[in-house]
Amino acid sequence: MGLQRTGPRLRRRLVPLGALLFGAAPLACSPAPTPSMPLASTGGSEDSTSTTTPGLTSEQTSSGEGDTTGVGSSGGEPEDVPPAELEPGELRPGGETTTDELGVGAFLQRAANLSLGNGGAFEAGLQFFQLVWEVAPSTPELDGLGPTFNARSCLECHIRNGRGPTAIEDPATPAVLIRLADASGAADPALGAQLQPLSIPGVPGEGSVTWAEQAFDEIEVDGGVIERVLLIPTVTPRALGAPSRGTLASARVSMQLVGQGLLEAIDPSSIEALADPDDDDGDGISGRTASLRGGALGRFGWKAGQPTVRHQTAAAFLGDLGITSELGPTNNCPPVQAECAAAPTGGEPELTETRLDVTAAYVRLLGVPARRDGDDIEVRRGKTLFHQLGCASCHHPSFVTGMAAESELESQTIWPYTDLLLHDMGSELAQGGPEGDAAASEWRTPPLWSLGLLETVGGSRRLLHDGRARSLEEAIAWHGGEAAASRDAYLELPALNRARLHAFIDSL
């Protein structure tokens, strides 16, 4: 039985934003020799009057409850929500790789079933992951930084392997990147595909960024108001000048790293089976696979732009540190950046094949923390709500892994809560130009496992691709497009049921 919206129409109170366009944030420059360029979408707000959300089927929950009594604001008392049953292995989301460390070091743990043989690669990769790179020429094992870059080590962005803070929380953080592209996906002619605020001596930097938090709107819900905010960047150009008039920008916050090897080990057929690009089943969800160059299946990054952990690792080395590898052999030097192109290198490539291999192995072999309070009855009521609201239509609960680079990752029943597909999330989350196979409004479903430990590990819990959301409820309130019906149903939940849903997500 589908969830019927029988409550009052949502009341949305907009906050005055001055010159800020609704649904779009200008990227200002100071000084500004060219007009400001849009950061987010060019579309307006979305209608909040959708009346249904996909129904719960017997395949969507182990307990089989299809009754929505108590879910909506007029569907009964919140106490009527039945608790879902625990499924086999659900509390060990990484299968045999699951670890029991739930404190500040939760994301630093090796897979619990790691063999002695692969333990050596894990330890070797750890050394390169935490290595602080130097400007060439220097120590051969350490040099090659830049010529332009965003950070000096992997750990500067992935603090204790978690997410980095936003610039609102830490103005000096390198963990927030700005992608640059025009409406066709072409990189900025002077600054390239990513803004690099830092550079080695003798090479001009591309500009510095300051951030401001600005109110967007307020949405009235049972028990209070959800305030949504935007993060507004201002770029101060340097010698290379401001971005091109047609360049669009998209901010990205670094992600937590646990479980990457298990996601890589999911058989492509299992992901493809969840795709429904034409919405043939009529449920309003039309996720599609990210098809990359050569037909590879994209599954890593906010836009599913990389097919494997090795590719994602190489892309981060090149884009964020300026370290070349066989998968990224050319420095980030657009044609107009002569000093960048002439700068000394740390070798060709700067990261050897072996070093890239062990760094990728380190990321793949990180363990997944165990669930917290997963058997609590209120958490299990939250699981029921998660399915009834249709959240599992994109945040697919579980897979069984197939072949993997390391045997420890094979044949594991895992619970990442993602389908690894691209979904249209609506105009309010559209940002920048197209990237890879993804349009501006399309985003890969992010895994939810370990979300409840973000603040414990890194001290920050800003959510969504640019860190604008300060809470789970704010993140859900930004969902649009294919998720609009589920979002609207969530906004009409009684406060107690919203808390139950939050408790379930935090337990993952």
pLDDT in tens, 81-106: 999 999 999 999 999 999 999 999 99
Burial per residue of 355-392, b for 16 or more beta-carbon CB atoms within 10 angstroms, e otherwise: bbbbbbbbbbbbbbbbbbebeeeebbbbbbbbbbbbbb
463 beta partners: 469
Q: What are the pLDDT digits (tens) for 420-436?
A: 999 999 999 999 999 99
- Statement: residue 182 has pLDDT above 70: yes
Asked if 283 and 53 count as a contact pair (C-beta separation under 8 A), the reply is no
Mean pLDDT (whole number) for 15-31: 35
Main-chain phi, psi angles of 125, to 5 degrees: -65, -35
pLDDT of residue 55: 30
Going from the C-alpha of 434 to that of each of 250, 360, 437, 453, the distances in angstroms are 10, 27, 7, 31
Mean pLDDT (whole number) for 309-319: 97
Asked if 125 and 420 count as a contact pair (C-beta separation under 8 A), the reply is no
SS3 content of the chain, % helix, strand, coil (to 5): 25, 15, 55
- Statement: residue 8 has pLDDT above 90: no
Mean pLDDT (whole number) for 441-462: 95
- Statement: residue 6 has pLDDT above 90: no
- Statement: residue 283 has pLDDT above 80: yes
Q: How far apart are CA 264 and CA 365, in angstroms?
A: 11
pLDDT of residue 4: 37
Q: At what angle do helices 309-316 and 353-364 cross, to 10 degrees?
A: 120
- Statement: residue 21 has pLDDT above 60: no
Q: Quickly state the pLDDT bin for 356 (edges 50, 70, 90).
A: very high
Q: What are the pLDDT digits (tens) for 372-405?
A: 999 999 999 999 999 999 999 999 999 999 999 9
Q: How far apart are CA 401 and CA 265, in angstroms?
A: 5
- Statement: residue 2 has pLDDT above 50: no
User: What percent of the chain has a predicted confidence (pLDDT) above 70?
Assistant: 84
Q: Which two tokens stand for residue 356?
A: 């890239």
pLDDT of residue 23: 29
DSSP 365-434: TBPPBPPSSTT-HHHHHHHHHHHHTTGGGTS---EE----SSGGGTT-EE-------EEE--GGG--SS-
Main-chain phi, psi angles of 341, to 5 degrees: -65, -30
Three-class HEC string of 218-267: EEEECCEEEEEEEEEEEEECCCCCCCCCCCEEEEEECCCCCCHHHHHCCC
Residue with tokens 């929500």: 81
DSSP 62-98: TT-----TTTSTTSS-GGGPPPPPPPTTTTSTTGGG-
Nearest to 421, CA basis, from 508, 313, 307, 298: 298
Least confident of 42-56, 87-101, 203-217, 384-398: 42-56
- Statement: residue 42 has pLDDT above 70: no
DSSP 195-208: ---EE-TTS----E
Q: How far apart are CA 130 and CA 391, in angstroms?
A: 36
- Per-chain mean pLDDT for the chain: 87
- Statement: residue 79 has pLDDT above 90: no
pLDDT of residue 168: 87
Mean pLDDT (whole number) for 177-195: 95
